[in-house]
Each structure stands twice: as structure tokens, then as C-alpha cells.
Structure 1
Amino acid sequence: MEYTEFITHVQSLAQSNSREEAEIATRATLETLKELIPGDEAQEIAGEIPSELSECLHKIDTDTSESFHLQEFIERTSQKENIEPTTTAMHVRAVFAVLQNAVTPEKFKKFRAYFSHDYEELFTTSSTSEMPAV
């Protein structure tokens, strides 16, 4: 998936007012993901998304990751976006949906295993065929 397509899908699914808002939301979400998942897993995901976004997942120390619940994830991402958490939650859900379609099913399944059950609402079963055409 190309960068423009990725951001366009995020913008559409998040019902963002602008492309810039979708770009900020995507980067903030990926940067928060980097804090949560192990570095090797972050690198695998980074290898499957557009290079313009993969930099958000690069870790200096690949052995560190934190464990935090959904509310903390939303709060951290909200701070990065500098917007209200309720809007951030919609953005994060959109980024996760596009990410699910940007990486292979096997890698996404492995990636999803790092999340506790409270994250379930962020994972959709959408496919790119359900996304609006670019």
C-alpha cells in the first residue's frame, strides 16, 4: 500500500477534516504502538507499511516495550495529536483498520497478539474491499 492510499483511507475511515489531520493521527498512533510492541515486531510491521510511515516504528532499543491498557494508549496518542481523547479513539481505530489491510494477515495476527482484550474494539474485520476507492 502506498503512502497516499494509506493516509486517504485513514482520513476516510476517521472522517477527518483534512489530510494533515489524518497524517498526524497516523504518525501519533504508530509512535504509540512503538512504545507498546517489542522492537523486532515493530520492525516487521515497519517493513510492510509505506516508508514515509515506517520511521515512526523504529526503536533505538529493540528489547524494550511497555504494557499499558487501551485507555493509556488513547491518552498517549491524544497527547501526541494534541486533541481530545474521543476524537483520538476514532483516529486510532481508523489507523488500525488500515494497518490491518496494509500488512500480511500472518503478521497482523502476530501483531494483534501483543494487545490485551480491552483493545478488541480497535480491531475491525474490514478489508480493503470495504474501504472507499482512492
Structure 2
Amino acid sequence: MQHDEFIGQVQNRAHLSSRGDAEVATRATLETLAERLAGDEPLNAAAQLPKGIADYLQHEYAGMGTRFSLDEFFQRVSQREGVELPNAVHHARVVIEVLREAISSGEIDDIRSQLPSEYDPLFEAGSQGRMRVNN
């Protein structure tokens, strides 16, 4: 999958008004995911993605394995993306859905093996990426 196709898929599926918005949603989601993963896992996933998209998995905090809940994952995406939490949840789900199509199933399995089961809805096709944030 090429960069433009990845971003186009995110834009279309998330019903975003511009490619720029899709780029921001993709960056926010993948940077947050990269922080949550440990070791070389972000780099392994990035190796299967086009430049630009791969860069989002290779920032300075990538591979740190910072532990945070799914709720906090969505909150971090929301802050990075600069959108309300419900929109960030939807956008993150879409980005992960496109990511699942862009990299091998083995790599997705490796990513999921590092995450607690509460992250499962984020990766399940047709899921609503249920948000369990208590305000």
C-alpha cells in the first residue's frame, strides 16, 4: 500500500473533510501506538509501510513500551490530533483498520501480543472501538 492510498483510505472511511485531516489522524494514532509498543516492534511494523506513514512509528518515544490503558490511548490520540475524544476514538479505529490491511497478519499479531486484552476492540474488524472513559 502506498502513502496516498493509506491516507485516502483513512480519509474515506473516517469521513474526514481533507487529506490533511487524515494525515493528522494517522500520525496521532501511529505515534501513540509506537509509544505503547516495546523494543523493535514499531520498527518492524514501519518496515512494511511506505515512507511517511512509517515515520510515525519511528519517533523518539517509539519502542519505549510505555504502559497505558486503552482509554488513555484514546485520550492521547485526541490530544495529538486536536479533536474531541469521540472523534479520536473513531479515527483511531479507522487508522488501525487500514494498518491491518497494510501490514502482514503476523506483524499485527506481534503488535497485539504486546497489548493487554482491553485493546482487542481496537483491532477487531467491525468493532466500534468501544470507549470506556469515565469522566
> Same fold by TM (over 0.5)?
yes
Contact 1:39 1:59 in 2 (8 A): no
Instruction: State the shift of 1:125 in Å.
Output: 3.0
Contact 2:41 2:63 in 1 (8 A): no
CA distance in structure 2 between the aligned counterparts of 1:61 and 1:19, rounded to whole angstroms: 25
TM-score (norm 2): 0.86
Instruction: State the shift of 1:64 in Å.
Output: 2.3
Runs of at least 4 residues off by over 2 Å: 59-64
Q: Name whichever of 80-89 and 47-56 sits farther off.
A: 47-56
Query: Which residue of structure 2 lines up, in the alignment, with residue 71 of structure 1?
Result: 71
CA distance in structure 2 between the aligned counterparts of 1:33 and 1:54, rounded to whole angstroms: 12
CA distance in structure 1 between the aligned counterparts of 2:32 and 2:63, rounded to whole angstroms: 16
Task: For 1:1-134, list aligned pairs within 5 A.
Answer: 1-60=1-60, 64-125=64-125
Q: Name whichever of 75-84 and 50-59 sits farther off.
A: 50-59
Structure (1 or 2) with the greater helix fraction: 1
Instruction: State the shift of 1:60 in Å.
Output: 4.1
Contact 1:34 1:42 in 2 (8 A): yes
RMSD, aligned CA:
1.6
Contact 2:25 2:81 in 1 (8 A): yes
Higher relative contact order (CA 8 A, sep 6+): 1
Instruction: State the shift of 1:20 in Å.
Output: 1.1
CA distance in structure 1 between the aligned counterparts of 2:124 and 2:8, rounded to whole angstroms: 18
- CA 1:62 to 1:84, structure 2 compared with 1: closer, same or farther past 3 Å? closer
Q: What residue ranges of structure 1 are gaps of 5+ in the alignment?
A: 127-134
Contact 1:39 1:61 in 2 (8 A): no
Q: Name whichever of 53-62 and 106-115 sits farther off.
A: 53-62
TM-score (norm 1): 0.87
